[in-house]
Structure 1
Amino acid sequence: MPVHLGVSLPTFVSGGATIGDIPALARHVERAGLDAVWVGDHLGAPTPFLESVVALSAAAAVTERVRLGFGVMLLALRQQAWAAKQLSSLQYLSRDRIILGIGAGGHPDEWPAGGIEFGDRGRRTEVMLRALPDLFAGRPTALHTAPGEPVITLAPAVSAPPIWIGGMSDRALRRVLEHGTGWLASLLTPGSSPNTPPA
């Protein structure tokens, strides 16, 4: 089995570090022969972050081969139709290079700013995971997280990206089995096991 290597781009401020030159770093990763660039996704807590779709769009614009990874996107913190439109547009413009990591999120402080109840993040994540295949395929899809459950059709249709589920809870692991093509474990060592609150 081949080993694929990726790099997390410096899209956040932490420990005195500054946000890096995302396009230049993405070009460097591609020239070095590595396989992917990755970004995190937070609205503001616990540390300032660049918006993940915009950051990966900047990377996509200056590369041709390297994969574009969300590690992970907080899909439930976003309005369903706009999130799907952004992702399908990036998938189209990048020529199918997205790896879509999705997690329910674990920092309660950022959810009120998005107008979403922290306790509702797991349900919203699952609703959106069920809708994504039809949205990417350009099929009419009911938006079960919107009032009145309107139906939307996104165009152009795109290939569904691989979905890697992030999280350590039992519910996250069930999402891997039901919706995922991969699992993004966080800070897991060979001798440890998932042990976090459900989301």
Structure 2
Amino acid sequence: MKIGITTFVTDEGISGPKLGVALEARGFESLFLPEHSHIPASRKSPAPGGGELPREYYRALDPFVTLGAIAAVTERLILGTGVTLLIQRDVIHTAKEVATLDRISRGRFIFGVGAGWNREEMADHGTDPRTRGALLDEQLDAIRAIWTEDVAEYHGRFIDFDPMYAWPKPMQTPHPPIFIGGAEAAAERAIRHGLGWLPAAVADPAAIPAQLARLDGYDVPVTVAFAAVDSALIDGYAEAGVERLVFSVPTLPELETLRALDEITKVADRYLGPTLAP
């Protein structure tokens, strides 16, 4: 099983390039960055974990620009979004951003996408929260057409474009791995589209079989995020055949971030890759 990290890279914590170098040096396989274009001041949508929305949500750097900078200073670290709010984005521009980043990183990109939770944020982009799932389904089909066809076209309810040329194509073929972030609905979408699933970790290792039971009979790669740093949980997901486990690191200054990474390595060291000499 591979071990990754997810965190909000902001203007107040460790820089993306320094984080990437630190992860690679410690043997971590991957880094996943979340996305929020903005946080509406109304704050009607409740925070995912309840309570006040953490400060880093308001200050997140653009994940594609940040991952591009990290790609330039790393060699093997897998770079992912966790997750891109595709329903708030233009699908043609996003197809080019992903393909460009996959080229810049020499095929090291993973495309995590999700339907989002902040309804006011969606509305500011002209997205109807009631139909965001159907929109995401069309976007997933359309963006793969852009990546894999020399002359791509798509005609749906929400996405509609005539034959067009769009380069570059991604380095990975047929395209970078795609993981759908979320719970039960995301698992169903991953199955329908033949993509990966990216759920949040359970708290109790005994609950892992029930969480993954929906995928029985389907060949769906799984990356589990927001895992607690607990050896029993790590081993439980490894035994269940999960491809990747991703730990959440709070947004902190550089030295504090490095200490947090070192604490994770103490528990997950047997699953980490080779470390680099300081």
TM band (smaller chain): 0.7 to 0.9
Match of 1:169 among 168, 184, 192: 184
Confirm whether residue 139 of structure 1 aligns to residue 133 of structure 2. no
Q: Which residue of 2 aligns with 1:7?
A: 5
Confirm whether residue 156 of structure 1 aligns to residue 168 of structure 2. yes
RMSD across aligned C-alpha pairs, in angstroms? Answer: 2.2
Q: Aligned partners of 1:21 and 1:120: how far apart in 2?
A: 36
Q: Is the 8 A contact 2:33 2:81 kept in 1?
A: yes
Q: Which residue of 2 aligns with 1:197?
A: none
Q: Which amino acid aligns with 2:167?
A: A
Q: Is the 8 A contact 2:146 2:153 kept in 1?
A: no
Q: Which amino acid aligns with 1:137?
A: T
> How far is the alpha carbon of 1:38 from its aligned partner?
1.0
Q: Which residue of 2 aligns with 1:26?
A: 20
Q: Is the 8 A contact 2:87 2:122 kept in 1?
A: no
In structure 2, do the counterparts of structure 1 residues 85 and 164 end up closer, same or farther at CA, with 3 Å as the change threshold? same
The structure that is helix-richer by fraction is 2
Q: Aligned partners of 1:104 and 1:151: how far apart in 2?
A: 27
Q: Is the 8 A contact 2:114 2:182 kept in 1?
A: yes
Q: Aligned partners of 2:194 and 2:70: how far apart in 1?
A: 24
In structure 2, do the counterparts of structure 1 residues 188 and 107 end up closer, same or farther at CA, with 3 Å as the change threshold? farther
Confirm whether residue 102 of structure 1 aligns to residue 100 of structure 2. no
TM-score (norm 2): 0.61
> How far is the alpha carbon of 1:183 from its aligned partner?
1.2
Q: Aligned partners of 1:33 and 1:187: how far apart in 2?
A: 21
Q: Aligned partners of 2:115 and 2:150: how far apart in 1?
A: 25
> How far is the alpha carbon of 1:150 from its aligned partner?
2.9
Max Rg structure: 2
In structure 2, do the counterparts of structure 1 residues 114 and 57 end up closer, same or farther at CA, with 3 Å as the change threshold? same
Structure with the bigger RCO (C-alpha within 8 Å, sep 6+) is 2
Q: Aligned partners of 2:198 and 2:8: how far apart in 1?
A: 19
In structure 2, do the counterparts of structure 1 residues 143 and 61 end up closer, same or farther at CA, with 3 Å as the change threshold? farther
Q: Which ranges in structure 2 are unaligned for 5 or more consecutive residues?
A: 40-52, 213-278
Q: Aligned partners of 2:21 and 2:149: how far apart in 1?
A: 31
Q: Aligned partners of 2:122 and 2:167: how far apart in 1?
A: 29
> How far is the alpha carbon of 1:64 from its aligned partner?
1.3
The C-alpha deviation readout for 1:154-176, integer Å capped at 9, x for no partner, is 21222201111111133x22211
Q: Identity over the aligned pairs, expressed in percent? A: 30
Q: Aligned partners of 1:75 and 1:116: how far apart in 2?
A: 10
> How far is the alpha carbon of 1:127 from its aligned partner?
0.5
Helix, strand or coil for the counterpart of 1:150? strand
Q: Which ranges in structure 1 are unaligned for 5 or more consecutive residues?
A: 195-199
TM-score (norm 1): 0.83
